[in-house]
Amino acid sequence: MFSYSAALITIATPNLNELAKFYEALLQLPPQVWLPDTYAEFAIAQLKLGIFQPQTCSQKEFAQPTRSAMSLCLEVVDLAAAIAHLTRLGFPPPHPIITASHGREVYAYDPDGNRLILHQGRDNGPAESLNQG
């Protein structure tokens, strides 16, 4: 039987310090684990987000940037406030808000180009209409 004790998402980057600072500002919390020039780990609700700098022997594995199908999705209480926060950080969403049956969401990207999805459920937060353009 397959068993596990925890799960986490990791992002490989040659820009560890820059990316760790971005996520610290975005999430408004410091890394739970910080190993300079090696690894940063953030505890987000029940999720752990790890950001690591590949060792020299494994850099070839991560050398080719690819567009991943994986996204970091953050459920937010107030989508307008989340968009304003990302914009203040210098990474505004490049496209307008999408309205779907499950709520509203917007796509954004971190400094390395990893996709973020900010989602506000139908039963969550302010109901006012937002204009994003």
What six digits make up the tokens of 87? Answer: 């914009």
In contact, 11 and 50? CB cutoff 8 Å: yes
Global pTM value = 0.75
pLDDT for 41-70, tens place per residue? 999 888 888 888 877 655 566 665 556 767
Number of Cα atoms under 13 Å in the Cβ half of residue 20: 21
**Distance in angstroms (rounded) separating the CA atoms of residues 17 and 51:** 9
**Distance in angstroms (rounded) separating the CA atoms of residues 16 and 48:** 16
Q: What is the CATH number of the domain that holds 132?
A: 3.10.180.10
Which of 42, 61, 80 delimits the end of a domain?
A: 61
pLDDT for 61-112, tens place per residue? 666 555 676 789 898 999 999 999 999 999 999 999 998 778 899 999 999 9
Range of the domain at 73: 69-133
In contact, 122 and 102? CB cutoff 8 Å: yes
Q: Phi and psi (nearest 5°) for 4?
A: -150, 160
Q: What is the CATH number of the domain that holds 2?
A: 3.30.720.120
Are residues 131 and 92 part of one domain? yes
CA-based diameter of the chain, in Å?
A: 51
